[in-house]
A and B are shown apart, each in its own frame.
Chain A
Amino acid sequence: MLAPLIHILPLATIMRTRLMPVEGKIIAGVGQKVNPTDTVAEAVVGRKHLVIDVAQKLDIPQRDVARFIKVKKGQQVARGDLLAESQGLFGKEVTAPANGTIVATGSGKIVIETGGAVFQLQAGIPGVITQAIGLRGVVIRATGGVAQGVWGNGKLDYGIMHSVMESPEDVFEPARIDVSLRGMILLGGHVETQKVFQNAAELTVRGLVVSSLNPALLQAATQAPFPVLVLEGFGRRPMNTNAYKLLSTNVKRDVSLNAETPNRQNLVSRHEGNARPEIFIPLPVSQEPPEPREAETFAPGQLVRVVFLSKPGRQGTILQLRPMAALPNGIKTNSAEVRLENGEQILAPLTNLEVLG
């Protein structure tokens, strides 16, 4: 059976696609080296439209409006500019209610597009542009350590990582966020209170990487002004050993925190495409390491994360595959015998395993 892979790697070459929500202009060229904060593409988003009913304002039939319109599609107009006027002794005028661009005329109406903000797509990771994806974005190649998570709040930033964790089982105490951590990306344990996000926002931290999150704080995490990456999930769950080792041994390094995962239901982000939310630790190399493998089938000897929903997940090694084995609760399904880190041996459904690699 095809196995889901989760990457927790001390050194790898990764390819990451960065996309804008709409088409725009690609600024960085293929082959160009980029830093995380470099803008690689930009587009205008959030435009509003004003529909002006010229026929009604001039009090004339729709079919007659065209000859009274004084502007053309594509034309820029300023507030107060003349859009249309009727003739005669008692002729009327229609003027632009705001600055904007004429985007449509017809059926007795004029549509002005106004406002909008420039969306700048940052590289997010330091690397080399290898491909432009139409007018939507780019692909970047980079080398370093990577730890993937399961949930992100849709934001991205770059900064120095500092740990406030003492063990993988740690609970993130809000008081641990002090002024010395201003502007840093923080590695913490389970978040139980909203105060963690409040303190982090007050001290303008650049991001949080946490083992787990109380689901009641989902909204607070989503609205946090900085990226939030959850490595294990919801409810109190310790950080997996591999991720804890990798991250806690790389504190004080610059890291890229990409919690920009697609959000299918507008409720919870989850990995899609090649974009699991992740933390990336750029590392200099003399020779590029290989890209991580992207597909694997379950086999004995694999290091796996055993997911439990009602209790913390654990890590172990597959001893043997057991087709249609009966679980302790009576369900029969394709399973594996797994030896956990503490030596305990359990039977786990293959659907509940993720290969670490």
Chain B
Amino acid sequence: MPASLIDGNSLLAVDVGAVTTRAAYFDVVEGQYRFIGMGHCPTTNIGATRNLVLGVQLAVENLQSLTGKQLIDEDGRLLIPSQPDGSGVDGMVTTFSVGAPIKTLVIGLLPEVSLKSIEKLAHATYARVVDSISLNDPRRLDEQVNAIIRHSPELVLIAGGVDGGASQSINNLIETVGLSAYLMPDGQRPAMLYAGNRALAGSIRAALSKIASELVICPNVRPALEVEALGPAQRELASLTTNIRQRQMPELDELRTLSGGIILPSAYAQGRMVRFLSSYYGGNKYVLSVDIGASSVSLAASFGEHLHLNVFPHFGLGEPLAGLLKHTTLDDIARWLPMEMPIETVRDYLYQKSLYPQYIPATREELFIEQAIARQNLLLSTHTMVQRLPGRYRNQGGLLPSFEPILAGGAVLTNAPSLGQKLLMLLDGLQPAGITTLVLDHNNLLSMLGVAAEVNSLLPVQVMDAGALAYLATVISPVSDAAYGTPIVRVKLIREDGTAMTSEVNMGNLQILPLDSGQTARLELRPLRNADVGLGPGRAGAVDVIGSSLGVVIDARGRPLRLPPNAAERIKLLKKWLKTVGG
């Protein structure tokens, strides 16, 4: 892997999303890698133009016109490598999130052990689990076989047995899967990934390699009863996901060839980047990345080297919205609206947006509906992710662990017309606790940088150091069970020039401490009534903070945030908060 400017040179990163295809150009400027520009085009996966490559070509043409750099020749071919006249680009990498969720069958021995681990693996990609089978499955063998054939899964994920442990039980499950796949038509047989007792790898290969459309054997996700190791299997699953998509959309092969084989699912590339950042920022940093896309919400939480990647296809803000009311209620969405409107308007918006996933809110009313849905989906995704985290990373009350920083991207955030709206969506949806920094991936570069790291480890670091991500605000979110209106923290902000401001923040308040962009300051925090500002219950301390146009934010509205049940009071409060952050 090149780690120098000499080897790397310019790079084109393409992301084929469910709605938008983007092409980003990176090059060396004054000895450092820089993000130069981004071109867009609607993803061309529907209608008569059903060829993803066309969308990529149009996105690159858009990039060309924005940057003035010629990247495509007169015949519409990408110029790789760059030409002596300066046109073209030295390399290309691709990520994708386009496509319906992959119908996935999960197989494990015990529901609370290997089945749970393999389900977590499934949640790390664009999968929809259609059925699960374990030793405790009450169905007869032929009922299981008929169910598998009826579901016609595209992917089967199998785990079971610790390394060196039992083998007969997993062999029985393999026989069920093998028989079902054998009875399916040739072209419909699923791809399979085995991540169980490694002693069985040989017999699994013998039993399934001729039946599966593709078989991957990878290290055990549960090598010992107390040990869960999803990392190596996630890498294999990313590759398998790509191959499944390529069977559905053969033109991905062309993108793979142009990319020299460097093509990854966007969520995996996002996770890869977050894990890298967790190490880059220092061993103790927990880093969270959020991507609110049209096809899914992806949350990648990295605790040092330990990555927990969660993809929620049912919470995407495009086509999946038609099924959202299976997971939440209209009232729970509408409670986030800072204006009165009939609940039917919200309902109709959900269903109509599922037909027009590319739609951009055209009125203020629509903007608030869209942001209300984003808040609710982010909240549900975050809650599920926290429940799935290993016990050592969870805190009391099921709150979000302390992440620093939290990186956020997705059109609903980047399109929001004010920084305050972006901030509130993140605070309401994620409800961070303690001290954190919110960073906006305003060009949605994170997954592109993650895949770029496959060919050039220097590029992501330098591009990020050059400010490709936008610092949004430092947020202090005290956790307290004090009554509404009771003071829970005293703060003192001491600026570089020696000026200071002090404030006492009451439970239920959202307060901004003004600190201009680029300025640094020392923030002293003195919790009252045993509140936890992120330093431990009742513990005082000080942190260095950086200013932004939003200043430093003290979010004392409570964790979890509880909105008034009375609609008029709630709307008044939501309007007040919106005004506090600048509207």
Contacts and interface: CB of A to CB of B under 8 A. Distances in A.
A2 B49 CA distance: 9
Given A307-B356, A348-B362, A351-B360, A331 B146 contact: no
A310 B322 CA distance: 15
Given A267-B323, A329-B367, A235 B362 contact: no
Contacts of A50: 142
Contacts of B149: 49
Contacts of B322: 218, 265, 267-268
Given A270-B354, A274-B48, A330 B362 contact: no
Contact of B47 (A5, A307, A349): A5
Interface string A298-339: 000000000111110000000000000001111111000000
Interface string B342-365: 001101111111111011111111
A22 B188 CA distance: 9
* Residue of B187, B322, B347 most packed against chain A (CB within 10 A): B322
A302 to B, nearest CB: 16
Contacts of B242: none
B42 interface: yes
A4 B49 CA distance: 9
Given A295-B48, A310-B349, A331 B145 contact: no
A267 B354 contact: yes
Given A49-B142, A310-B365, A348-B362, A273 B50 contact: yes
Interface residues of A, number: 53
Interface size class of B (residues with CB under 8 A): 35 or more
Nearest to B141: A51
Given A53-B141, A103-B183, A329 B366 contact: yes
A267 B321 CA distance: 9
A156 B149 CA distance: 26
B418 interface: yes
Nearest to B58: A2
Given A2-B44, A295-B48, A331-B360, A22 B185 contact: yes
- Counting from the closest, the 6 A-B pairs by CB-CB distance are A330-B417, A235-B348, A294-B48, A234-B351, A268-B322, A51-B142
Interface of B: 41-42, 44, 46-50, 54-55, 58, 100-101, 140-142, 145-146, 149, 175, 179, 182-183, 185, 187-188, 319-320, 322-323, 344-345, 347-356, 358-367, 369, 415-418
Given A1-B41, A294-B47, 9 more contacts: A2-B44, A22-B185, A23-B187, A107-B175, A234-B355, A268-B322, A268-B354, A270-B355, A273-B50
30 contacts: A2-B41, A2-B55, A2-B58, A4-B47, A51-B141, A103-B183, A104-B182, A109-B179, A113-B183, A215-B347, A233-B355, A234-B351, A235-B349, A235-B351, A265-B100, A270-B354, A271-B47, A272-B46, A272-B50, A274-B47, A294-B48, A307-B359, A309-B348, A309-B356, A310-B363, A328-B362, A330-B417, A349-B360, A351-B360, A352-B359
